[in-house]
Amino acid sequence: MCIIFFKFDPRPVSKNAYRLILAANRDEFYHRPSKAADFWGSNNEILSGLDMEEGKEGGTWLGISTRGKLAALTNYLQPRLDPDARGRGELVSHFLTTDMDSLSYLKKVSKEGHLYNGFNLIAADLRWVCQAGRGRDLWLLWQPQGVSNALLDTPWKKLCFGKQLFLEAVGRSQALPKDALVAQLLDMLNNEEAQLPDPAIEDQGREYVQPFLSKYAAVCVRCSDYGTRCEKDCLPSSSGASSVSRQLPVNSALAVVLQAQGRLPGCPHTAVWGPGQISLCQGPMLALPSLALCPWPIGVSG
């Protein structure tokens, strides 16, 4: 039951404003094997966590590259999963490694959506393409957005509650140092207040038993065998350095902050390892002209 909040502004009015603020939780079974966020082996261009589940190896849920690509994924809550479907995490990995721009890539993905169980895919260079049973294109307005395991801004209570906290943090963003903003985003992502009852999530998940759904009604999920288990990251700072802070044991969230100038400076990257965190300098200019979001909820008409 992952959740993502983001605000994109391609033309920030102030040098202290941000082009993109993105905060996300990855919820997964604790026993599912994965690698923590790092550069991909000998590939010093792509930074992400990696799925190590047998048959799904190499997929990821959120990643960024020094070439200016960013992608994030949530699963769509649906009654029946196809056990033979392809791993959705490869959609993020393929985008980060392809030379296609985000709109071209999402058009390609929209033709292949039937090969996967339901998903929402966000890709930078950041316009909205929607395929939800009927083909239609929608354009994102430049206000904060939220997506969980339904369509964009579906009024799940946990999404509305988290979005309000996100709006409050975004409203203070220009007055806060980057580290303070990231701390507020991570506090938001660690909020465990259950938002119950929730008719919207109950209706979409009506094939599931009620106790199952009620466990996942908070922004941050804490269950015995399943929950929020993603690193927390920040990329990059206004001074040009990219920082990635990792909470150990892995149990928290991910926050991305891109400064108004949109720079990922320095190449090749260098790394300074400390207790529980990595500081990085990486990559060339990061260009984010638009935002693309492709939801593919199987069996749902839009």
* DSSP per position, 151-210: STT---HHHHHHHHHHHHHHHTGGGS-HHHHHHHHHHHHT--------HHHHHHTTTS-H
Distance CA 211, CA 156 (A): 17
Name the 3-class secondary structure at 54.
coil
Task: Give residue 130's pLDDT band: very low, low, confident or very high (50, 70, 90).
Answer: very low
Banded model confidence at residue 142, pLDDT cuts 50, 70, 90: low
- The widest CA-to-CA distance across the chain, in whole angstroms, is 51
Which has more confidence, 35 or 127? 35
**Average pLDDT along the chain:** 69
Give the pLDDT score at 143: 66
Task: Answer whether residue 169 shows pLDDT above 70.
Answer: yes
Which of the residue ranges 137-151, 156-170, 231-245 would you say has the lowest mean pLDDT? 231-245
What does the pLDDT read at residue 43? 63
User: For the purposes of burial, counting CB atoms within 10 Å of the CB of 202, is it exposed (0-12), middle (13-18) or buried (19 or more)?
Assistant: middle
Q: What is the pLDDT of residue 288?
A: 31
What long-range pairs does 29-36 form, CB within 8 A, spacing at least 24? 29/225, 29/226, 30/225, 30/226, 30/227, 30/229, 31/225, 36/231, 36/246, 36/250
> Is the pLDDT assigned to residue 189 strictly greater than 50?
yes
d(CA 33, CA 241): 30
**pLDDT band for position 57 (50/70/90)?**
very high
- Cross-strand pairs, 244: 278
> Would you state the pLDDT for residue 168?
93
Beta strands in 188-269 (DSSP E): 226-228, 242-245, 254-259
Q: What's the whole-number mean pLDDT along residues 211-231?
A: 79
Instruction: Examine the pLDDT at 235 and tell me if it is beyond 50.
Output: no
107 vs 130: CA distance, rounded Å:
10
Model confidence at 160, in pLDDT bands (50, 70, 90)? very high
Residue 84 has pLDDT above 80, yes or no: yes
Residues contacting residue 273 through CB under 8 Å, at least 6 positions apart: none
Name the least confident of 22-36, 59-73, 74-88, 113-127: 113-127
Pick the CATH number of 3-296 from 3.60.60, 3.40.1350, 1.10.10, 3.40.50: 3.60.60
Residue keyed to tokens 């100038």: 261
Least confident of 84-98, 155-169, 257-271: 257-271
